[in-house]
């Protein structure tokens, strides 16, 4: 009992002592509560018959009736679209920033290194709407740069945004272009934190660049790689509305309709709020299970996890 009281008094003492530091993180805590936790109250409409004009609390309970989509073949086709995009993007986007960070870390001239870093970071700050316009400008069959090159070689122009076989590559390549530089920051920081004496010892032993990369750099990066792997796994069922929606059209709808756009269209545009919430709840639950499993895997491989 005394130990508990002393712990409580220590806690209060630290709060008072570092009150200004705590006050600086208070806005962030409030934002997390408002935008991450309070909306969870609305998840109950996944089990209710909610309509506009009614309140969440007065809507009648319907149990699992809103989960009817689980027996709909169209829903599972959309799940397949989502997984095909997210898995491809995950496989390509995970190694890309690592490779870029390794290449940048080998650059000796500081001015060139800073220039490359700045140029590679900039696409992250471009919104997906603007990226969609850039893609359309490059790939348009009417005057697009890519199609001009194709026509120069005597071929017919290609309507890239209307061809379903081109949609996934466009999504994956644009995601790599936009986020690789930004995602490489944490790997550059991890590389910079490696003890330089390890490299000096390796040089004395006659190890070349590839040997140093294999036996020093990559092993030291494994905890960081596993951490980011764990954090990115829950998004395996989220293809990203902000990226996919601007690229959607009637011609590519067969492959561009993913879970995020399915929720958006059914929830906000068609007013099926309960069903859309049920889809979102199922997706979030699967994401939670995946992050628990990936955290366990990270502990087995690297000995470290999120908790």
Given a cut of 90, whether residue 298 has pLDDT beyond it is no
Phi and psi based region of residue 153 (left: phi greater than 0; alpha: psi -120 to 50; beta: remaining) = alpha
Count Cα atoms within 13 angstroms, Cβ side, for 25. 6
Same domain, 295 and 238: yes
The pLDDT assigned to 4 comes to 60
Same domain, 24 and 87: no
Report yes or no on 86 lying in a domain. yes
* 171-177 contact pairs (CB < 8 A, 24+): 171/85, 171/89, 171/239, 171/243, 171/244, 171/247, 172/85, 172/88, 172/89, 172/92, 172/93, 174/131, 174/135, 174/243, 175/89, 175/93, 175/243, 176/92, 176/93, 176/96, 177/123
Strand (E) or helix (H) holding 14: helix 2-17
Same domain, 95 and 238: yes
* 3-state helix/strand/coil string of 99-168: HHHHHHHCCCCHHHHHHHHHHHHHHHHCCHHHHHHHHHHHHCCCCCHHHHHHHHCCCCCCCHHHCHHHHH
What range does the domain containing 10 cover? Answer: 1-36
Quick one: pLDDT band at residue 1, thresholds 50, 70, 90? Answer: low
Contact by Cβ (8 Å): 250, 296? no
If one counts the domains in the chain, the total is 2
Same domain, 210 and 91: yes
Same domain, 114 and 12: no
Same domain, 25 and 127: no
Q: What is the mean pLDDT of the chain?
A: 89
Report yes or no on 51 lying in a domain. no
Same domain, 126 and 219: yes
Same domain, 32 and 77: no
102: which 2 tokens? Answer: 């390794």
pLDDT tens-digit readout, 61-108: 999 999 999 999 999 999 999 999 999 999 998 899 999 999 999 888
Same domain, 16 and 78: no
Report yes or no on 63 lying in a domain. no
**pTM, whole model, 2 decimals?**
0.84
Same domain, 27 and 160: no
The pLDDT assigned to 6 comes to 67
Same domain, 87 and 18: no
Report yes or no on 133 lying in a domain. yes
Given a cut of 70, whether residue 262 has pLDDT beyond it is yes
The pLDDT assigned to 216 comes to 92
- Range scoring the smallest mean pLDDT among 9-13, 134-138, 187-191: 9-13
Given a cut of 90, whether residue 43 has pLDDT beyond it is no
Phi and psi based region of residue 236 (left: phi greater than 0; alpha: psi -120 to 50; beta: remaining) = alpha
Same domain, 11 and 124: no
């Amino acid at each position: 009992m005394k130990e508990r009281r002393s712990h409580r008094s220590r806690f209060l003492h630290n709060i008072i002592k570092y009150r200004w530091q705590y006050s600086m993180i208070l806005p962030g805590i409030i934002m997390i509560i408002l935008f991450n936790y309070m909306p969870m109250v609305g998840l109950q409409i996944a089990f209710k018959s909610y309509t506009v004009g009614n309140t969440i609390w007065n809507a009648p309970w319907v149990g699992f009736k809103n989960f009817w989509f689980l027996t709909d073949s169209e829903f599972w086709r959309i799940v397949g679209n989502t997984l095909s995009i997210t898995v491809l993007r995950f496989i390509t986007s995970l190694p890309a920033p690592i490779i870029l960070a390794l290449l940048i870390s080998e650059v000796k001239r500081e001015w060139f290194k800073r220039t490359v870093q700045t140029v590679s970071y900039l696409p992250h700050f471009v919104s997906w709407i603007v990226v969609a316009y850039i893609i359309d400008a490059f790939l348009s069959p009417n005057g697009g740069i890519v199609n001009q090159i194709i026509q120069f070689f005597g071929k017919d122009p290609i309507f890239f945004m209307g061809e379903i076989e081109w949609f996934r590559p466009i999504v994956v390549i644009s995601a790599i272009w936009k986020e690789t530089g930004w995602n490489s920051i944490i790997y550059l920081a991890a590389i910079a934190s490696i003890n330089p004496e390890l490299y000096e010892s390796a040089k004395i032993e006659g190890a070349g660049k590839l040997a140093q990369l294999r036996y020093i750099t990559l092993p030291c990066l494994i905890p960081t790689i596993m951490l980011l792997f764990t954090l990115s796994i829950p998004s395996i069922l989220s293809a990203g509305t902000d990226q996919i929606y601007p690229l959607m059209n009637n011609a590519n709808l067969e492959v561009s309709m993913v879970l995020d756009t399915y929720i958006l269209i059914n929830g906000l545009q068609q007013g099926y709020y309960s069903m859309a919430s049920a889809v979102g709840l199922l997706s979030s639950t699967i994401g939670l299970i995946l992050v628990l499993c990936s955290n366990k895997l990270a502990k087995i491989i690297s000995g470290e996890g999120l908790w």
